[in-house]
Amino acid sequence: MSLLDDYAQICGNDVIAHLQQLAAPFHGARVVHVNSTRVGGGVAEILTKMIPLMQELGIDASWEVITGESQFYECTKGMHNTLQGNQIHLSDKLLGVYERTNAENAESLRESLTEADFVFIHDPQPAALLQHFPNRKGKWIWRCHIDASHPYRPVWKYLRKFIVPYDASIFSLAAFAHELPHPIYLIPPSIDPLSDKNIELEPGAVRQVYEKYRLDPERPLILQVSRFDRFKDPIGVIEAYQLAKKYLPSLQLVLAGGEATDDPEGGVVLGEVQEAAYGDPDIHILLLPSDAHLEINALQRAADITLQKSIREGFGLTVTEAMWKGKPVIGGDVGGIRLQVINHHTGFLASTPEGAALRIRYLLYQPEKIREMGEKARVFVRDNFLITRHLREYLALMVALLYESQDRIELSCSSLNQEIHDL
Amino acid sequence: MTTLDDTPAGTVSESENRPGPFLIKDCALVALATGRRARMLQEFRNEITQIDESSIYHHYWGGLLQARFEEREFNNDFAAWIRHGIHDAMLAERLAALDPTDFTDLELLRHEIIELIDMRLDECESLLWMRATQQFEFIRSQIIVFDTERRLQQPAELASAIEQFSTSSIFYHFIDARRRTQHRCDDFSDWLAGFGDQFNGLRKHIAGLDPYFGSLAELRIQLAQLFQTYFQEPVHEPAG
């Protein structure tokens, strides 16, 4: 069975037929995606499936990964953090490494990228490649996966000069977008229903996490999956749990996040969380390795309700993941959570621990509401936030770019083939 | 570049489905940032005067094909923001009552929106300086229409064919059509009108389906039920 057949079983045949029709004019077109890692992180996760899906649709899609030394990654990590608002100075030396690494990678990718019909450059790491391709044939698109709504200005100003010459940019939400002298497309991220994070699990896998973490399957369980970061408000989650527990004494809370690695702030927040949870055996703080996808999946299925009580959030893919598992979400009234959590339908937006506690009580006293809202949440994700929708919008963007500023593009395969041929 | 329809946004074009076979088309929409934002009602009003028509289209129509929840409280993004960002129920309700099909083009719709905002600002001065709890982001969209190369020769074929329409095809023929067809109706009704009075009863039933509040998948089910019931019944309602 093909990958498209697998997705058809989840999304429906009409969704796949639609993709096939949209992709038909691109048969044989060369599409190259470029990022900086083949494993780990959301971009790699999406590309792992996006590339074979494009190939099955007849597109000559490929994936290139740029490489660099440790100072390059130090610089690009700094760029990532500064685009999210951290005020970190990047030295001229590091920026020099960034530009040199892009120049070196441009040489090794020259043939592939010069001849490509479409090049998708993901995030800041390979953004400076374009200047080394004055004879590029195709359309180049910069895809920003980061919440860059409030960047540290000096770094954005530096990066912007590399991004301006692109044919288009893509941001996940309008609020993240910046003024640029080319079309700025809005394409939300997506989850892959067939990945370890989201795939259906046997009941045994869920039972295993209950046993492993000494959770009681007979008692209500609420969960937040996120790194230990102040923007995710884990302390607020504990406060909400404590307020709700007065009315629901059997309540259990799991806070599952990655181990604090090289983020000194993460260690401090984790300490505060452990202190706030001290003495309550029903609060479980889990430090999971970054590849514990199946375990996170099982925890999300084990929970009655998921929380994402962020006070600042990008898109919030953990919300999408929980909703895909049929769980209502109580989320912070910020960022992409607002797109996903619809009050009284797929969950509740809450701005305070008190608000979150009220909604926890509301839902746990009405298990039928949990089922009803969870089902709506799952359908909402199926229709809007799966990788098939993401792919559809990439294909639509590819068509739109060929016709530039037209609002309404009526096409036939032959006309579009001519456009691609003329690139 | 070969485009079959270079009709500028906001103008009326003849339906291509009349009176020959029904051409089943499909579409995809891609959203673009405009860089225009508003945090106050006055600012919102000023942006409305300047935004591209494709942005009005997106917030009234195009949004129906974007990520959205099936049970929408308001039928357009402007009314929803006025209610939940500015917290003014009165203006939100008035904006929600605007039906874009009542306007021959988007410019007229734009003027009516501005008129309603100005009227409300006259009624309630405090709205002049009230800051919204969330910013409104003006978005525009590009719609890509493609021919599925499937054709329906006779109206009775709708009964079995409609279930095979993708949701975006339903959007194109049932919602987007209201901007394209001469009588600002859906493509099905427009096509049926080409058969004279024979299908007036069915057209009345179709007109009874509200395109704004159900999901596109629900709309497809409703249309399928309507067509199947109609074409199975031996006696149809008198034409009128």
Residues A316 and A396 in one domain: no
- pLDDT recorded at residue A266: 79
- When CB atoms are compared, the residue of B67, B144, B168 closest to A384 is B67
A vs B: CB pairs below 8 A: 122
Chain segment A205-236, per-residue pLDDT in tens: 999 999 999 999 999 999 999 988 888 999 99
Average confidence (pLDDT) over A6-11: 94
Residues A258 and A121 in one domain: no
The C-alpha of B214 sits at a distance from chain A's nearest C-alpha, in angstroms, of: 13
Asked whether the beta carbons of residue B30 and residue A406 sit closer than 8 angstroms, the reply is no
Q: Which residues of B touch A394 (CB under 8 A)?
A: none
Q: Which residues of B touch A400 (CB under 8 A)?
A: 30, 142, 144
Asked whether the beta carbons of residue B35 and residue A179 sit closer than 8 angstroms, the reply is yes
- When CB atoms are compared, the residue of A175, A399, A412 closest to B135 is A175
Q: Which two tokens stand for residue A151?
A: 């960047």
Asked whether the beta carbons of residue B164 and residue A14 sit closer than 8 angstroms, the reply is yes
Q: Which residues of A touch B71 (CB under 8 A)?
A: 345
Beta bridge partners of B140: B32
Mean pLDDT (chain A, rounded): 92
| A169: pLDDT strictly greater than 90 | yes
- Does A196 fall in a domain? no
> What one-character-per-residue DSSP string does A57-101 give?
TT-EEEEEE----HHHHHHHHHHHHHHTT---PPPHHHHHHHHHH
- pLDDT recorded at residue A417: 61
Residues A175 and A225 in one domain: no
- Crossing angle of the two packed helices A153-163 and A70-83, in degrees rounded to 10: 110
Chain segment A174-196, per-residue pLDDT in tens: 988 988 999 999 999 999 999 99
Residues A390 and A360 in one domain: no
ipTM surpassing 0.90: no
The more confidently predicted of residues B12 and A157 is A157
- Does A133 fall in a domain? yes
| B58: pLDDT strictly greater than 60 | yes
Report the C-alpha gap between B99 and B105 in whole angstroms: 12
Least confident of A21-25, A396-400, B222-226: A21-25
The C-alpha of B235 sits at a distance from chain A's nearest C-alpha, in angstroms, of: 33
If one counts the domains in chain A, the total is 2
Average confidence (pLDDT) over A360-367: 97
Residues A102 and A245 in one domain: no
The C-alpha of A193 sits at a distance from chain B's nearest C-alpha, in angstroms, of: 18
Residues A186 and A211 in one domain: no
Give the HSE-up count for residue A4: Cα atoms under 13 Å, Cβ half-sphere: 17
Domain that holds residue A380: 203-384
Average confidence (pLDDT) over A3-7: 95
Q: Which residues of B touch A17 (CB under 8 A)?
A: 166
- Pick from A11, A13, A14 the residue to mutate for testing the B interface (most B CBs within 10 Å): A14
Q: Which residues of A touch B3 (CB under 8 A)?
A: 403, 406, 409-411, 415
Mean pLDDT (chain B, rounded): 84
- Does A391 fall in a domain? yes
CATH number at residue A141: 3.40.50.2000
pTM assigned to the model: 0.87
- When CB atoms are compared, the residue of B32, B70, B143 closest to A185 is B32
Q: Which of residues 35-54 of B touch A (CB under 8 A)?
A: 35, 52-54
Give the HSE-up count for residue A35: Cα atoms under 13 Å, Cβ half-sphere: 21
pLDDT band at B234 (very low <50, low <70, confident <90, very high): very low
Average confidence (pLDDT) over A103-118: 96
Least confident of A55-64, A76-85, A254-263, A266-275: A254-263
| B18: pLDDT strictly greater than 90 | no
Asked whether the beta carbons of residue B30 and residue A393 sit closer than 8 angstroms, the reply is yes
The C-alpha of A279 sits at a distance from chain B's nearest C-alpha, in angstroms, of: 38
Residues A165 and A244 in one domain: no
Query: Quick check: helix, strand or coil at residue A151?
Result: coil
In chain B, domain spans: 29-140, 152-232
Chain segment A37-57, per-residue pLDDT in tens: 888 777 888 899 999 999 999
Contact B139, A339 (CB under 8 A): no
- Does A197 fall in a domain? no
Return the percentage of chain A with pLDDT > 70, whole number. Answer: 96
- When CB atoms are compared, the residue of A339, A395, A410 closest to B4 is A410
The more confidently predicted of residues A379 and A237 is A237
| B93: pLDDT strictly greater than 50 | yes
Q: Which residues of A touch B26 (CB under 8 A)?
A: 18, 21
- Does A79 fall in a domain? yes
Residues A341 and A208 in one domain: yes
- pLDDT recorded at residue B66: 66
| B68: pLDDT strictly greater than 70 | no
Asked whether the beta carbons of residue B3 and residue A403 sit closer than 8 angstroms, the reply is yes
Chain segment A280-337, per-residue pLDDT in tens: 999 999 999 888 999 999 999 999 999 999 988 888 999 999 999 999 999 999 888 9
CA distances from A31 to A59, A105, A162, B129 (A): 7, 18, 21, 49
Residues A213 and A129 in one domain: no
B164 in contact with A at a CB cutoff of 8 Å? yes
Average confidence (pLDDT) over B44-51: 96
Residues A237 and A297 in one domain: yes
For A76, phi then psi, to 5°, come to -70, -30
pLDDT band at A413 (very low <50, low <70, confident <90, very high): low
The C-alpha of B123 sits at a distance from chain A's nearest C-alpha, in angstroms, of: 30
> What one-character-per-residue DSSP string does B184-216 give?
S--HHHHHHHTTGGGGHHHHHHHHTS-TTTS-H
Radius of gyration of chain A (CA): 22
Contact B174, B188 (CB under 8 A): yes
| A147: pLDDT strictly greater than 70 | yes
Q: Which of residues 181-240 of A touch B (CB under 8 A)?
A: 183-188
- Does A198 fall in a domain? no
Q: Which of residues 143-172 of A touch B (CB under 8 A)?
A: 171
Residues A167 and A288 in one domain: no
Q: Which residues of B touch A341 (CB under 8 A)?
A: none
| B230: pLDDT strictly greater than 50 | yes
| B81: pLDDT strictly greater than 90 | yes
- Does A195 fall in a domain? no
